[in-house]
A and B are shown apart, each in its own frame.
Chain A
């Protein structure tokens, strides 16, 4: 059966990834032929034991890792673009407007305030500074980062606060596709609830989510489908 492609957010097919470690003269097979098609408004959870390649798959979908073979079609402004064959500048464009990635750790220039960190990707999309700062403020508050912290650099924050700034940054730009790499791992229970609520909201607005969720309960609350990674055949 042919899927309704207009509503397809992301379709990856036969993704293989092998790392070649030259100094160890070793080849490590991380992914062997993963495929999935995801529609807008759906959430795909990538599941499996530690070291199985969950983050590797997610990073491939962001263009952070180069796949060894396969294709990754992304619905970018209504057109399906193959991330594997896209130019560097096309990938940057897709990241600016279509795919947002929330990593496990926030990595930013020191001394830049939390507010500016969240606002930067919104400004990059082309929105004016005032709108961007207002939306950044709104999302930081949603994630329980109090106003008095907004002007401070996250380097001075606790691990959980930093991760909430990271989530705010990923969400506030309102990208149609959201990649989440254990976004709640360092959050306490109430803040985890808040974050999950925001992901559910995003999904209800039509955002497609591919995520790794450490916590089974969290995973079940947001995921429509689960992709269980198997150890690659040698």
Chain B
């Protein structure tokens, strides 16, 4: 079996006296979708920001194996390299679109900016790629020149996805990517992510509160509570046979069947 593409070891983070994350370790492999579930405030988003190097932990390390096979310790590499990775090999879709998009430049401009920062030279090609990705996430191409300010919440989420996928990232961090989407678009986005994962080896860390999304998309799952990973396993096993009291409560609280 191959080496992990991303490895977290003993990550801890506090904000003042508040413990956001304690001693979290796991490995992520190519072609794998890993879900992180838990109530709000359990540390899910903090974990995602640590994994992508956006914030630094109090202790612990994150190791990323890059395209050339080199192991990079995310908190030890220069900031310039970290930023470069986040523009190319790593993608981050924020729950708050203001973090992931420039609201005052056009949708096409948002995608082109990432492509050009990632090394693409031609504006024409950037525009063509932008159109192609808008189609993949089911945004109308007629809205290419509109700014995200003129987009709905669900459209902004899809634009972030298009922007991130345009550079063919190897790892994608998703923070509640389907939260504001109506169900038919949600299904198509899930299928798109799964397809990229199985066909092109994209590895995904998915933070979600929607257990149905976790079930349909991810092979493995981490359940978080108060900054701790309290249960981890195969997604179907954890959801069908939860062991911890909190996980049982979480699974039994869903309306309908997940």
Contacts and interface: CB of A to CB of B under 8 A. Distances in A.
Contact of A92 (B234, B240, B248, B252): B234
B241 A65 contact: yes
B237 A110 contact: no
A233 interface: no
B188 A111 contact: yes
B211 to A, nearest CB: 12
Nearest to A112: B191
Interface string B179-205: 000011001101100100011000000
Given A111-B184, A111-B191, A88 B233 contact: yes
B216 interface: yes
B248 A110 contact: no
Contacts of A66: 233, 237, 241, 243
A58 B178 CA distance: 33
B236 A89 contact: no
Contacts of B191: 109, 111-112
Contacts, number: 58
Chain B, interface SS category = helix
A93 B1 CA distance: 10
Chain A, interface SS category = mixed
Nearest to A60: B241
Contacts of A22: 244-245, 248-249
A231 B220 CA distance: 33
B188 to A, nearest CB: 6
A120 B240 contact: no
B241 A109 contact: no
A23 B190 contact: no
A63 B240 CA distance: 11
A77 interface: no
B187 A110 contact: yes
Contacts of B215: 107
Interface of B: 1, 29, 183-184, 187-188, 190-191, 194, 198-199, 215-217, 219-220, 233-234, 236-237, 240-241, 243-245, 248-249, 252
For the complex of A and B, the 6 pairs showing the least CB-CB separation, nearest first, are A22-B245, A110-B187, A111-B187, A65-B241, A109-B216, A109-B190
24 contacts: A20-B243, A22-B244, A22-B248, A23-B245, A23-B248, A23-B252, A63-B234, A63-B237, A64-B234, A64-B241, A66-B243, A88-B233, A92-B234, A93-B1, A107-B215, A107-B216, A108-B216, A109-B190, A109-B194, A110-B183, A110-B187, A111-B188, A111-B191, A123-B199
